[in-house]
Amino acid sequence: MPKDWNTLAEFTNQEYQQLFNRVTRASQVLTTDAEPEVGPTPKEVIWTRNKTKLYRYISDQPKKHKVPLLFVYALINKPYILDLTKGGSLIEFLVERGFDVYLLDWGSPGYEDRHMKLDDYIMDYIPRAVRKVLRKSQADEISILGYCMGGTITSMFAALHPELPIRNLIFMTSPFNFENSGAYGAMLDERYFDIDKVVGTLGVIPPDMIDFGNKMINPMATNLGPFVSLVDRADNEKFITSFKLLRKWLNDGILFPGEAYRQWIRDFYQKNKLIKGEMVIRGRKVKLENIKANVLNLAGKNDLIAPPHQVEALMDAISSEDKQFKVLPVGHTSITYGGQATKITYPTISDWLSERSN
């Protein structure tokens, strides 16, 4: 099959037929194929508050590690990217290796949640979830893994709650220093992006607006690239399955509470308060040096949303004696789903955590 579509005039009849078949299959994927099932690992709800649910994952296998693990997700999209499909699930991987795994799912906020602030998640929701996990697991300590913005939130939570028995912290593509935030910084520059007008007008931020901003970082690659790849590889059903899974998740966005969004843009992207030690949550200054737990901080070499330099900045700010920073050959999403994730990310987290969870 010719690799260059510019040579269509040179295609043989067989090559035209193969291209037609691929385009037809790609069209089916985008229009008529059923949506894939996601979140296959069995779980139960053990606590709720407002839209938020705390899940515990169920396994017939005996627990090998006495320290439970709580996942804290971002306020963007839904957390099933961490449990996307059998054989491609970080949560499934850790459950099968004997960890007692929990997930804090923020749910789908509505307009009535427009006044929710980061303060509410950090000072009310996460502390109660942590205490519930400790009681449910009958453990004395806890490990927490924060993904993307969830890790940034987790760092503030840990800094503000030194009284809680947090033994291990894992941050996965979580930004901490927003001084050099590339395309995001340009788009969100306070001279051009009036965050007060945005929040005042919308109340809650629609997921399409956030998705559009993400795609504008690399417009050609994120808008056209996936569909070109789909046609090129439409005869590969394994690729089709992954394409449909990721497309479902990417299109399954949720509303972002307006007040929390105002803080996220102003205090982080516009003012860079966290790494400067100027962030205040419910009247208390966030001091990252209060973090003394064991820390594994993971960045993606190809991550355009939270590039390595934004992630690594945490390391000099915390007081942990046992702390590691690793850059993996992945992107922002492929750190948790895909071939590199299963081969590199999953074992990296499991091995590090195993040594520190007994």
- Supply the residues annotated as catalytic: 148, 303, 332
Structure tokens at 341: 């994730």
State how far the Cα of 324 lies from the Cα of 251, in Å rounded to an integer.
34
User: Exposure of 146 by Cβ count < 10 A (0-12 exposed, 13-18 middle, 19+ buried)?
Assistant: buried
**314: nearest Cα among 340, 281, 291:** 291
Among the residues of 105-194, which ranges form H helices? Answer: 118-120, 126-137, 149-160, 182-187
Structure tokens at 156: 């503030």
Asked if residue 82 lies in contact with residue 73, where contact means CB atoms within 8 angstroms, the answer is yes
Structure tokens at 332: 């922002």
CB count within 10 Å of CB 81 equals 23
Asked if residue 181 lies in contact with residue 308, where contact means CB atoms within 8 angstroms, the answer is no
> Computed from CA positions of residues 241, 172, 227, 188, in that sequence, does the dihedral angle turn out positive or negative?
positive
Provide Rg for the chain, Cα atoms: 21
What is the number of alpha carbons within 13 Å of residue 242 lying toward its C-beta?
17
